[in-house]
Amino acid sequence: MPVPTAHITAKKEDFAKTILMPGDPLRSKYIAENFLEDAVLVNNIRGVQGYTGYYKGKRVSVMASGMGMPSIGIYSYELFNFYDVSSIIRVGSCGAFLPDLKPCDIVLAQAACTNSNFADQYNLPGSFAPIADFGLLRKAADECEKLGVNYRVGNMLSTDVFYNDSFSDLDWAKMGVLGVEMEATALYCNAARAGKKALCICSVSDSFVNPELNMSAEDRQTAFTKMIEIALEVAEA
C-alpha cells in the first residue's frame, strides 16, 4: 500500500525508526511537548496525533494507538510494513492483579496472554505465544534499575473486553500473570510477522485487589513520567 495510508497522513520519511505509542492522543501530545525537542506534528487524521522530534539528540516519534487490539493492530501494521518503522514501544496503563503492584509501578510485558482471536489470522497449527523483543526488554529493565523504580517483568493479559461480564480476569493471576491491558498481543503479533521489534511498558493505574488506589483519568495523562523516560532511553535511533 502506498503512503499516506487510509489512517496515517504522514510521508514515509516523517517518522523516526522508533515510535512510542500511548493509547491516548492527549498523552502523545504531552510526550511531544514535554520530552521532545523540535517536535513536529506529522499526523492528526481522526485526532490520532503523531509527532517526530529529538530526545537527547536521538530522533524519536510518538503517536497514539487508540484503544484496543483492532486499533493498535491497524496503526502498528501500517507503521511496520508501509513506513519502515523498526521498533514500536507501547507506553500505556494497566490494571494490576498482584497486591504488591501499586499505582505508577512499572510492568514490562515479557509476553502477552490474551482472550482475543487476533492470531487466528495466521492459520498456525497451534497457539502462538506473543513476546517482546528481548533486546528492548533488557534495556528497559536496566533503565528501571538505574531510576530505582519498582518494576516487574513478566506475563501480561491483553483483553478484548474492558467490562468483563464473567468477572474472570483475576483467574489469570493463578498463572502468575501480572496485570491486564488491551493492546500488547496485537502489537507483538504484528512485530513478529513483520520481523520488527516491539515492547509494551505499562504503568499501573488500577488495582484489582486494592481498588481504593485507582488513579483518575487526569492523573493517567501526566503522572507516568518514569515510564516515558524509560521508553525514550530504550528507543533506538
Do residues 197 and 213 lie in contact, with contact meaning Cβ atoms separated by under 8 Å? no
**How many domains does the chain fold into?**
1
Q: What percent of the chain has pLDDT over 70?
A: 94
Question: Quick one: average pLDDT of 101-116?
Answer: 95
Per the structure, the complete domain to which residue 71 belongs is given by: 12-234
Is 1 domain-assigned? no
Number of Cα atoms under 13 Å in the Cβ half of residue 196? 27
- Between helix 25-35 and helix 225-234 the angle, nearest 10°, is 70
pLDDT digits (tens, 9 = 90+) for 219-228: 655 568 999 9
Is 6 domain-assigned? no
pLDDT band at residue 166 under the 50/70/90 scheme: confident
Is 2 domain-assigned? no
Using CA atoms, how far apart are residues 6 and 190, in angstroms rounded to an integer?
A: 18
pLDDT band at residue 215 under the 50/70/90 scheme: low
Strand 87-96 with 179-181, pairing = antiparallel
CATH number of the domain encompassing residue 129: 3.40.50.1580
Is 198 domain-assigned? yes
Active site residues: 206
- Between helix 69-82 and helix 184-194 the angle, nearest 10°, is 20
Average pLDDT, the chain: 93
Q: Is 44 exposed, middle or buried (0-12, 13-18, 19+ CB in 10 A)?
A: middle
Is 66 domain-assigned? yes
Is 137 domain-assigned? yes
Residues 6+ apart with CB under 8 A from 134: none
Using CA atoms, how far apart are residues 147 and 181, in angstroms rounded to an integer?
A: 24
Is 230 domain-assigned? yes
Using CA atoms, how far apart are residues 22 and 34, in angstroms rounded to an integer?
A: 14
pLDDT band at residue 169 under the 50/70/90 scheme: confident
